[in-house]
Structure 1
Amino acid sequence: MGNWLGMLSSKEPPPAMVLVPPIFDFPPLAARTRMVVPAYDLLFGKLVLRCLFDDYFEDAKRFSTRIMLKPLEDPHVDMVATVSGPLDGKSNKNVEGNALFRWQRDLDDPHTFLDLFVSTSEPLRLRSCAYYPKYGFGAFGIFPFLMPKRVHPEDYGAMGFRYGSENLSVGTTFMPFPLSSQTPVSAWLVGRAGRLSVGVQYKPPYDSKYPMSLKDLKNWNCAIGYGLGSSSPLSPSFNFAIELVKSSQLIASFYQHVVVQRRVNNPFEENQVVGITNYIDFGFELATRVDGDKSMGSVDESSFQIAASWQANKNFLLKGKIGPLTSSIALAFKSWWRPSFTFSITAVNDRLRGTKSYGFGIRAENIREASYQRADPNYVMLTPNREHLAAGVLRDFGKRPMFQSEVNSGNYDHLPRELKPIGKIF
């Protein structure tokens, strides 16, 4: 009798599960150097909006190739090389290439690093940052080399100091050379309380003809934002911000990251796979003038742009954006080999000229590891229990909660570093 019952129990179907594909590019490459950028420039959804508006949207009638490699012998160093140029290939003058060589002290902490940038169109640049999480203090420097002529103060390099925590960031960037009272200085102060974020930034233009006074409101930017959710791709989030730039332009932006699950209709998957996680992003940015001043130091005219993306699975990404003069749509396909390869094509509709054109891009990478999980309970998927063994789980798909993981409680300790939030500090 016991053997018979054991045979019946052994025939129980395995627990149903939901696939969790990795994000195409997470964390974004810009997140690796955010400690040399003022926290004001990264707050209020600016980093994710730039990724949404720019990534995989190739320029019209141009191609781009990017190679991102990390040697297996020393994972602390990596290299990112990019080559771009016109599709017709009629002139080699428009072909640009650059390479970034980077050393990172801790694999799990990208905030202490040293990198060297070489380019066919820009001077040699050395950039370094040291950050001490225990105390919250950091220092960074950006120094160009081998410049035939140094005209602006920033051509001599920049240094900065910052303090950052989960709720506060304050810092300054200054030009140490040449030693002059007219050397431009920038500073920022941003704070966060719950879902509300506020910040101010002193950022005068790099022009000796323009007065760099703390009393001049055109040297200041200020912003306020309201957001919910972490920066982990497994957590839904949104951010709404309003920014006043140089007392002459008002910028309103919105970004939302949605994590949804849909039924799997793939004959190549096992029967217990009932769903797959999708990532949907939407954002818009509206800039409008609030004064009629067109003098020196004024900002651009009013504009807007709207973009959305949909990652259907680990291999396909669809993006589209609309602006006042052009609209674009991009399709990217990614193979998760090692290294991984990504091919993208962009169609651009120029309504001003009445033309349609295309751009192409290809990438090879082994810097960011794939986190494609199928049955690990530490990720976003079904928690095995008797309810999930019932045959009705397929019939009632969408009516019962599918997110049962430590992510909901804010515990990211068991997640790989590619899926952990990047916004723990400013």
Structure 2
Amino acid sequence: MGNWFDKEPPPPVVLVPPLFDFPPLAARTRMLESAYNLLFGKLALKCLFDDYFEEARHFSTRMMLKPIDDPRVDLVATVSGPLDNNTDVVGNATFRWQGDVYDPHTFAELFVSNTEPALQVRSCAYHPRYGFGAFGIFPLIPKKRVADGVMGLRYGSGNLSFGVRVLPSALASTSLKSDGETLQNAWLVSKMGCLTVGVQYEPQYGSNDALNYKNIKNWSCAIGYGVGTGSPLTPSFNFSLELAKSSQFIASFYQHVVVQRRVKNPLEANEVVGITNYIDFGFELQKRVDEAKESNNIPDSTFQVAASWQANKNFLLKAKVGPLSSSVALAFKSWWKPSFTFSLSATRDRAGTTACGVGIRIENLREASYQRADPNFIMLTPSKEHLAKGIAWEVGKRPVLQSEINAGNFESLPNELRPLDKIF
């Protein structure tokens, strides 16, 4: 009886909700893209500025489904269009095969759409031991006699990435082609500690000869400073400067913050004393630096600022501000199997007109299997509860889960919370 009264209370628990969309869906096909276009915080900023901000007076639906019997395959289908009519509705679907469930770098996809291209194959084969990979994008039912496909070779390691993307239709021609007609782009990116530098060549300007590389408008360069492991459980910071095509200066900043706040929820057990929140903030400034005359559609400079707050596993609030309009979005997600997400966004332009957009998503690609933290995952912000006598806050002053993450050990985490692969 005495043992029953002397029983220690259960240790306090901090809830760690899953992120709404991690890893990003665009990361699954990043091996088809230039590493230059995805690094320097570009992928994170794109998700922050675009996700759940539906176009005014438009709707979008997306289904991401995977069969239970064969987790190597999945299907992603989207339908979007205006709310007032059905004339411009766009629908497409992607069937994906991935040989290794935990390796998204070797895959094959079949893409179908009611727009051009109607049928397309996208595939990549990557050897992680040697770091080399080959990829291709090929339309199967082109309207034109010559298909506009893309082939490429790449190398990726923890500190270096380089590769090229070429047009196979130009390679198949017997006549001598210029680099602008054969080469789509080439990139070289290197990482040295927290510093990342890169350069990309895209032959779009100049004469139709093999000397387009001498035109500085075909070159872009960037430098970025970033810290963080890439796991959403740890904070990250990225600042970059880019000179795009020697005509546009771009400065961007992105920060992912992990905060823990106290929570008093009558629906939770008594030992639940806190919850982890995720706050993201991003800023991007673009300014033309060439002497070309400005057109009515291209302003001399523009900027956008966005922030998001995930309060728990169910609610996400986002807002962004730009020179032409401001938007706010609210998303609700239920972690059923499959999960269901409903989002509503409102956009107010400079003229004072407000319009709404609606989004619906159904998904079972990512699972929420990490809602409750390890008992030793204590609050990072000191509070008086740390000093309470007999309470389990003192058990493991170095939190097991937190210290392992800081050390780069993510083996105990679900795949959805681990960093993206370190290869560029």
TM-score (norm 2): 0.90
Return the offset for 1:376: 3.1
Aligned pair partner of 1:13 in 5, 9, 15: 9
Structure 1 residues 165-185: Cα deviation after superposition (integer angstroms, max 9, x where no partner): 110001111112132513241
The separation in 2 between residues aligned to 1:344 and 1:330, in whole angstroms, is: 7
- Which residue, out of 377, 387, 408, partners 2:406? 408
1:173 match: 165
Q: Secondary structure at the match of 2:169?
A: coil
Mapped pair 1:35 → 2:34: no
Q: Quote the residue 1:311 is aligned against.
A: 310
Any conservation in 2 of the 1:231–1:423 contact (CA below 8 Å)? Answer: no
Q: Is contact 1:249-1:289 (8 Å) kept?
A: yes
The residue type equivalent to 1:99 in the other structure is A
Q: Please name the residue that 1:133 is paired with.
A: 128
- Whole-Å Cα distance in 1 between the matches of residues 229 and 211 of structure 2? 37
Shift, 1:374, TM fit: 1.5
What's 1:266 paired with?
265
| Structure 2 counterpart of 1:173, one-letter code | R
Partner residue, 2:76: 80
Match of 1:243 in 2: 242
2:419 matched residue in structure 1:
421
Listed as ranges, the gaps of 5+ residues in structure 2 are none
Distance in 2 (alpha carbons) for counterparts of 1:410 and 1:8: 42
* Match status 1:257 vs 2:256: yes
Deviations 1:82-102 (A, max 9, x none): 11111123xx32111110110
Contact 1:212 1:219 in 2 (8 A): no
Greater CA drift, 214-223 or 117-126: 117-126
Which residue does 1:188 correspond to in 2? 187
Distance across 2 between alignment mates of 1:357 and 1:295 = 29
5+ unaligned residues in a row in structure 1: which ranges? none
How many Å separate the matches in 2 of 1:242 and 1:184? 29
* Counterpart in the other structure of 1:103: 97
RMSD: 2.7
User: 1:390 Cα deviation (Å)?
Assistant: 6.9
Aligned residues: 408
Change (3 A) 1:159 1:267: same
Q: Which residue of 1 aligns with 2:214?
A: 215
Where does residue 157 of structure 1 map in the other structure?
Answer: 149
Identity %: 64
Task: Judge conservation of contact 2:253–2:283 (CA < 8 Å) in 1.
Answer: yes
Aligned equivalents of 2:403, 2:375: Cα separation in 1 = 7
User: For residues 273-422 of structure 1, what are the structure 2 equivalents within 5 Å?
Assistant: 273-294=272-293, 301-351=300-350, 353-376=351-374, 380-381=377-378, 391=388, 404-422=402-420
| Residue from 108, 118, 122 that aligns with 2:112 | 118
8 Å contact 1:371–1:418 — kept in the other structure? no
- Residues 219 and 367 of structure 1: CA distance in aligned 2, closer, same or farther (over 3 Å): same
- Cα deviations across residues 381-425 of structure 1 (Å, max 9, x unaligned)? 569xxx98974699x99xx98774411211111111101101511
Matching residue's letter, 2:127: Y
